[in-house]
Structure 1
Amino acid sequence: MTIRYMMLAGVALVSTAAVAQVQPPRVAKKPFQVTSPNGAREDDYYWLRDDTRKNPEMLAYLAAENAYADAELASLKPLQAKLYEETVSHIKQDDSSAPYAKNGYYYGSRFQTGADYPILERRKGSRTAPAETLFDEPAMAKGHSFFALSDWAVSPDNARVAWAEDTVGRRQYVLKVKDLATGAAIADTLSNIEPNVVWADDNKTILYVEKDPVTLRGYRVKAHVLGTPAASDRLLYEEKDDTYSMGVSRTADDKFVCIGVSSTVSDEQRCAAAAAPTSFTIVAPRAREFRYGADHIGNRWIIRTNKDAKNYKLVTVADADLAKGTAAWRDLTPASDTVFIEGFKPFEGFVAIDQREGGNRMIRVLNDAGKSTAVTADEPAYRMSLDVNEEIATPWVRYTYGSLVTPTTTYEVNAKTGERRALKVAPVPGYDPAKYVTERVWAPARDGTRIPVSLVYAKGTKRDGTAPLFQYAYGSYGISSDPAVDPGRIDLLDRGVVYAIAHIRGGQEMGRGWYDDGHLLNKKNSFTDFIDVTRYLVAQKYAAKDRVAAMGGSAGGLLMGGVANMAPADYKLIIAQVPFVDVVTTMLDASIPLTTFEYDEWGNPAQKASYDYMLSYSPYDNVKATAYPALYVGTGLWDSQVQYYEPTKWVAKLRELKTDKNPLLFRVNMEAGHGGKSGRFERYRQNSEWQAFMLQQLGVAK
């Protein structure tokens, strides 16, 4: 059959007629110069940026890409549906959480069968008391194509709850409040805020972070008194430096409200009595390459800091000595080259420490007498992390444990006796951990660095160089990729796919130096680490050279773009979700959300050395006339983190220059932002599309 097109402003649109062979859409080139202090660059697809998201020519192109993806994936619909059903079969639909105690109530959540969103509830005095609904999210989400209830907080007197919700996906939250006795909404609402709300002790004042309406940067902390107009909200703090983000919180003992500001290389925290949060005292003034975070218990502060400790340490200072500055800080833990302190939680009589060593995340308890006790694990690659611990007058510490084989289990351990008890094992119907194997291997990078890799595969999968490999990584911002059982991955393993997490430099799996070696002028290490892991796994016969799929999202999508340019022949398929691929242009534009926060992550292109280095790896700028692997690219029109036009331009340029005939599919979610559509099942429904495409490309039997 012949193909018919409708032409609109240079965009080829597939007609509604049935077609046997659909050609990829093309989009008009419109010359445009992106200027900078260090030179100008031609960008023929710059016009695809429309901050209003209303340009009909741009929208027509996105529609054409979606239509092309629909046509190319049509034959995979049965497999897509099968994968989705298999995934859902591993989800306990009427699941509930392990309740936690706070201020006289037990809080928890539960899902009803078939529901995309949970019901949040509390019980007074005991876990078996009658349930009181805080949020009926399924009802709240009705009528919205996107819904996210983020931060929420109950007033100290337990009478009201304030929360932040988003019904667009652009992370511009609205603050709302309701009376818990009646369930009635209180008239006060505040728009364009961060998902971060804190009550003062008077039960009527709410502290929140206001966003800049253009950059969406949280830059002001205000206090809103219920029953008063938003215009009269008191400004408590405004951050003038646009490289800092901010948040507001209460200390573990609830005595103080703190405003924290943070950049990649610096922190500053100011705190005030929660009874009257108006006069704030700085814990320690900011300085470049000085980071810290403070919490309070009893009559002292406990602080996690990198002062004289690259991998962080814990220090303490008495209330009476706080004004003396860092000279009064006293070490609780020593500096270490091998142990990286991720976080901590103070309790009466001890501190629970969340740390990393040897690529794994673990928990240890340090009592006030100085005795340290580690919580042990039996697997080679795993993750422990502190869970919700709202009560500090208890010896019990809640934490979670999981691996690529073991479902996430919530435990509590007694800091005095060492007794451990399981509170909840995440149910995974139809899953038997004994059928799978997890390994930790160390892949040599080209500079000699050993890269930790977490592996999982089904028992019986032959290590003979024939298996398909699905490799994932993130590797930016010091964010580590920890192993966990994923219901959406089980049936890939059952089909013989080997799954690998490459813990590349740019994360913090191996400490702060691991991050330093993977950002700024060392960013290319992230790309080459990923490639070298792939080559190692192939050489060690975990996988076939021509059956490797790679995936990353957001900054991990930048990784995918870099890998596609640097080593296209090593991959059969690359999946890039909401990818940050137009690095230089974005970092030149301070009006784009996140740009100014991230000069110390990527570099400031106003500086020549940074400009040249970023330009040398920016995926969009380095697309060339060569053969690329098959590509699946995803974005959301309302994304505020990585704007939709970055992957859109990248796809357009790839279509123009790539010399292969491998499929390039671009899925644009027109009703969502950075995280895609909301809802627990919707995520798996979306994932089943690229999973089906991946299995097809890897030659895996359906």
Structure 2
Amino acid sequence: MPTSSIISDTSDKSITAPIAKKIPHKIEMHNHQRIDNYYWMRDDQRSDEEILAHLNDENNYADAMLSDQKTLQESLFQELKARIVKDDNTVPEKDGKYWYHSEINGEQEYSNYYRSTSFTGENKTLLLDVNDRAIDHEFYDLGDLSISPNDQLMTISEDTDSRRIYTIYFKDLRNLNGNLNSKLTDAQNTYLTDYYLPDTLIETEGQIVWANDNKTVFYVKKDLETLLGTQVYRHKLGTQQADDLLVYEADDHSFYMSLDKSRDDSQIYICLHATESTHYLALSADEPNSEFDELFPYQEQHEYHADKMGEHFYIVTNYQAKNFRLMKATVGQVHDINNWQEVIPHRKEVLLEGIELFQNFIVATEREHGQIRFIVHTTNATNGENIGHHYPLSFNDPCYFACLGDNPEPKSTTARLYYSSLTTPSSLYEFDLATGERKLLKQQKILGDFTKENYQSQRLFITARDGIEVPVSIVYRSDQFKKDGTNPLLQYGYGAYGITIDPDFSSQTLSLLDRGFVYVIAHVRGSEMLGREWYEKGKMAHKQNTFNDFIDVTKALVEQGYGAKDKIFASGGSAGGLLMGAVVNQAPELYLGIGAHVPFLDVLTTMLDETIPLTTNEYDEWGNPNEAQAYSDILAYSPIDNITEQDYPNILVTTGLHDSQVQYFEPMKWVAKLREFKTDDNLLLFKTDMEAGHGGASGRFKSLKEKALEMSFFISLLPR
């Protein structure tokens, strides 16, 4: 295993790591018994004094062991902060009568939201002062901001506890400029200038969808134990939440629930999504008092996204198409899948990720050989006219990310897209839908001495142990890279849920590149980088492929001279934290340091407990361990169940006490068990943010401190 000078040079041997007590807890399933000595660390109320004291002890221990890094941490924080433009704004976008944009200034942590009557900002009005809303909260997240169809009212949803439980508020926009309505009484005008209506909706998912009557909204209410959205309610303005009507309740808690509105604003959808299945229910947005009906009958393992323009529905579907295809159907025929007509066919080498409907165009987002592209099709989407000519929008960087921006107006003849690469800051383009001609509207400004030409990116394919070619994105600073096996290397991975980590620009990564690091994204199986099969071969019974891919990429990059074998680091969060936990069990000798953030580590215990948030939703991702084969599959890799007496690398673990996705006690238990079994003197540090949740600290500057912590941890481990 690589060793580092920090152990002998900076660690105070008189500082003792917290040692957790052990209380054996027996867990039996399928004639197999496990003993969890740290099960006692779970407290769903987050109020147990002994548990909180142990977390604080871990924080204090980590701070003490990192005390010699404080100067470096602060220097890195200031370096990261110095690259950020303090006064910034988004490019205004038109939606109805108004242009909307956000601004952030000075030391503000959050963007404030505005609208005006023109692109250039005439009659600019402050819609929401987010910094004022957040001022009394250690954590703040603005979940949704939605304007009523008549532009007179606004809803916002806020989470101030970091548990992703949102409260919805309603704001009157009619008199924001101080123009009193002469038709109203003084009392009514006084009420309006207070802006916020008395309507308040608690314990929600945060989404709000307006009906077209401007007085009815739909929202999803959460189960406070599982934190799943399970009920859809209808709220009438001016009434109490207790009087809201329950319009739908889910019987099957393996689905996530969300709301949406069709592209032509005629339909409101309840969208039920499981890992392998989708189900839509629809309601006329003009008739909010009617009932939701299923768009078409539910089928297991049928995944799709449906949208509507005029008299036609358009469905991106995996029905008889693993990589998805586009179908269409009239309003009267959509209920019967046999009546659907193919618009864009299935292709074995191309993943159809989604579409955006315009009145005379359909823009398809596709991924071929891992690279994103847009195909613009001419058509009359309103009347379902067959697709005419089409053309691609492609890009030149070897490693890049692109996505469509917000395009709220379906009648538009232009569209916006975001583009970024490992060496190109985020750029917003507007392109002509008829010709494809692009115009740069704005590129992220990086302060300091950043010059794109100083950095080089590459795209490689690494052969894994089973012969599969794994795509890898690499970036380094040209004058710091030798390819002689001397550079430090940081490898990042995720590999779950079909989520693809695309190679986009990060100003934070520059601090490592400028210090000679090579930064790598391993696009391991479990994502959809190479299509749907790439995902399926990295989940459930095939999950070991994810870990093998990551390990094999590390070995190959060392062999090819991209990194020094004694200077290799790895990092991942959430499901990527699971990846880190598996990798350090299976190949600890490869890594000098590991960053595991909000990591999912106690997979088997969690997936056996339906009271833990998200468990039932994820049976199709990890397997249902109530079934013997799935139990065996998960047991084989679950990080906490595979800790052994061996040397482990230096490890930094971070979490949030209020994490709703991966509970704080998973990394807490993992660290305690690692301390019990590991046979080395390397650092094992555990930091808990006592206010944060799964997304870490809120605010644009606060989150930089977390990044500076990991960077300083890695840099200080380098051999001297």
Residue aligned with 2:208, SS:
strand
Is 1:299 the counterpart of 2:311? The answer is yes
Aligned pairs, how many?
682
In structure 1, what is the Cα distance between the partners aligned to 2:718 and 2:411?
54
1:124 CA displacement? 2.0
Is 1:244 the counterpart of 2:255? The answer is yes
* AA partner of residue 446 (structure 1): R
The correspondence of residues 208-219 of structure 1 with structure 2, limited to 5 A, is 208-219=219-230
Is 1:67 the counterpart of 2:60? The answer is yes
1:432 CA displacement? 0.9
The answer for the alignment partner of 2:281 in structure 1 is: 270
Equivalent position to 1:634, from 640, 644, 654: 654
Give yes or no for contact 1:38–1:608 (8 Å, CA) kept in 2. no
Is 1:336 the counterpart of 2:329? The answer is no
Give yes or no for contact 2:349–2:531 (8 Å, CA) kept in 1. yes
The answer for the alignment partner of 2:245 in structure 1 is: 234
Give yes or no for contact 2:585–2:639 (8 Å, CA) kept in 1. yes
Give yes or no for contact 1:36–1:588 (8 Å, CA) kept in 2. no
Residue aligned with 1:534, SS:
helix
In structure 1, what is the Cα distance between the partners aligned to 2:456 and 2:194?
49
The correspondence of residues 423-434 of structure 1 with structure 2, limited to 5 A, is 423-430=441-448, 431-434=450-453
In structure 2, what is the Cα distance between the partners aligned to 1:418 and 1:667?
49
Is 1:442 the counterpart of 2:458? The answer is no
The correspondence of residues 426-575 of structure 1 with structure 2, limited to 5 A, is 426-430=444-448, 431-460=450-479, 461-575=481-595
1:282 CA displacement? 1.8
Is 1:220 the counterpart of 2:195? The answer is no
1:196 CA displacement? 0.8
In structure 1, what is the Cα distance between the partners aligned to 2:443 and 2:719?
35
The correspondence of residues 602-621 of structure 1 with structure 2, limited to 5 A, is 602-621=622-641
In structure 1, what is the Cα distance between the partners aligned to 2:414 and 2:143?
27
CA 1:545 to 1:191, structure 2 compared with 1: closer, same or farther past 3 Å? Answer: same
1:226 CA displacement? 1.1
In structure 2, what is the Cα distance between the partners aligned to 1:404 and 1:260?
34
Equivalent position to 2:200, from 189, 197, 200: 189
1:387 CA displacement? 0.8
* AA partner of residue 233 (structure 1): D
Which sits farther off after the overlay, 204-213 or 33-42? 33-42
1:253 CA displacement? 1.0
In structure 2, what is the Cα distance between the partners aligned to 1:621 and 1:449?
28
CA 1:234 to 1:440, structure 2 compared with 1: closer, same or farther past 3 Å? Answer: same
Equivalent position to 1:85, from 72, 78, 81: 78
Cα shift readout 1:6-59 (whole Å, capped 9, x = no counterpart): xxxxxxxxxxxx977312110100111123355331000000111111111111
Cα shift readout 1:155-191 (whole Å, capped 9, x = no counterpart): 1111111111000101111111111123511111111
Is 1:669 the counterpart of 2:675? The answer is no
* AA partner of residue 307 (structure 2): D
In structure 2, what is the Cα distance between the partners aligned to 1:573 and 1:38?
37
The answer for the alignment partner of 1:4 in structure 2 is: none
How big is the alpha-carbon RMSD for the aligned residues of Structure 1 and Structure 2?
A: 1.3
1:256 CA displacement? 0.9
Cα shift readout 1:34-92 (whole Å, capped 9, x = no counterpart): 23355331000000111111111111111110010000111001111111111111111
The answer for the alignment partner of 1:689 in structure 2 is: 709
Is 1:352 the counterpart of 2:363? The answer is yes
Give yes or no for contact 2:163–2:658 (8 Å, CA) kept in 1. yes
1:425 CA displacement? 0.6
Residue aligned with 1:364, SS:
strand
CA 1:586 to 1:483, structure 2 compared with 1: closer, same or farther past 3 Å? Answer: same
Give me the TM-score of the superposition, normalised by structure 2: 0.93
The answer for the alignment partner of 1:290 in structure 2 is: 302
The answer for the alignment partner of 1:58 in structure 2 is: 51
1:684 CA displacement? 0.7
Give yes or no for contact 1:38–1:606 (8 Å, CA) kept in 2. no
Give yes or no for contact 2:12–2:65 (8 Å, CA) kept in 1. no
The answer for the alignment partner of 1:653 in structure 2 is: 673
The answer for the alignment partner of 1:44 in structure 2 is: 37
Give yes or no for contact 1:38–1:607 (8 Å, CA) kept in 2. no
In structure 2, what is the Cα distance between the partners aligned to 1:194 and 1:433?
40
Which sits farther off after the overlay, 167-176 or 129-138? 129-138
Cα shift readout 1:131-174 (whole Å, capped 9, x = no counterpart): 11111111111110000001121011111111110001011111
In structure 1, what is the Cα distance between the partners aligned to 2:29 and 2:657?
27
In structure 2, what is the Cα distance between the partners aligned to 1:415 and 1:493?
38
Give yes or no for contact 1:107–1:122 (8 Å, CA) kept in 2. yes
The correspondence of residues 378-417 of structure 1 with structure 2, limited to 5 A, is 378-417=396-435
Residue aligned with 2:548, SS:
helix
Residue aligned with 2:457, SS:
strand
CA 1:82 to 1:306, structure 2 compared with 1: closer, same or farther past 3 Å? Answer: same
Is 1:176 the counterpart of 2:176? The answer is no
Give yes or no for contact 2:573–2:598 (8 Å, CA) kept in 1. yes
Which sits farther off after the overlay, 123-132 or 104-113? 123-132
In structure 1, what is the Cα distance between the partners aligned to 2:169 and 2:73?
39
In structure 2, what is the Cα distance between the partners aligned to 1:527 and 1:693?
24
* AA partner of residue 381 (structure 1): C
In structure 1, what is the Cα distance between the partners aligned to 2:444 and 2:682?
40
Give yes or no for contact 1:30–1:45 (8 Å, CA) kept in 2. yes
CA 1:422 to 1:674, structure 2 compared with 1: closer, same or farther past 3 Å? Answer: same
In structure 2, what is the Cα distance between the partners aligned to 1:459 and 1:394?
42
Is 1:318 the counterpart of 2:330? The answer is yes
In structure 1, what is the Cα distance between the partners aligned to 2:133 and 2:171?
13
In structure 2, what is the Cα distance between the partners aligned to 1:247 and 1:578?
24
Is 1:100 the counterpart of 2:112? The answer is no
In structure 1, what is the Cα distance between the partners aligned to 2:630 and 2:328?
38
* AA partner of residue 322 (structure 2): K
The answer for the alignment partner of 1:15 in structure 2 is: none
Residue aligned with 1:130, SS:
coil
In structure 1, what is the Cα distance between the partners aligned to 2:64 and 2:103?
38
- Structure 1 regions of 5+ residues with no counterpart? 1-17
1:423 CA displacement? 1.1
The answer for the alignment partner of 1:165 in structure 2 is: 158
In structure 2, what is the Cα distance between the partners aligned to 1:89 and 1:362?
33
The answer for the alignment partner of 1:26 in structure 2 is: 19
Give me the TM-score of the superposition, normalised by structure 1: 0.96
The answer for the alignment partner of 2:140 in structure 1 is: 147
In structure 1, what is the Cα distance between the partners aligned to 2:376 and 2:493?
30
In structure 2, what is the Cα distance between the partners aligned to 1:362 and 1:186?
44
Which sits farther off after the overlay, 96-105 or 501-510? 96-105
Residue aligned with 2:667, SS:
helix
In structure 1, what is the Cα distance between the partners aligned to 2:201 and 2:487?
54
Q: Structure 1 vs Structure 2: percent identity of aligned residues?
A: 42
In structure 1, what is the Cα distance between the partners aligned to 2:33 and 2:220?
37
Which sits farther off after the overlay, 55-64 or 521-530? 55-64
In structure 2, what is the Cα distance between the partners aligned to 1:35 and 1:153?
48
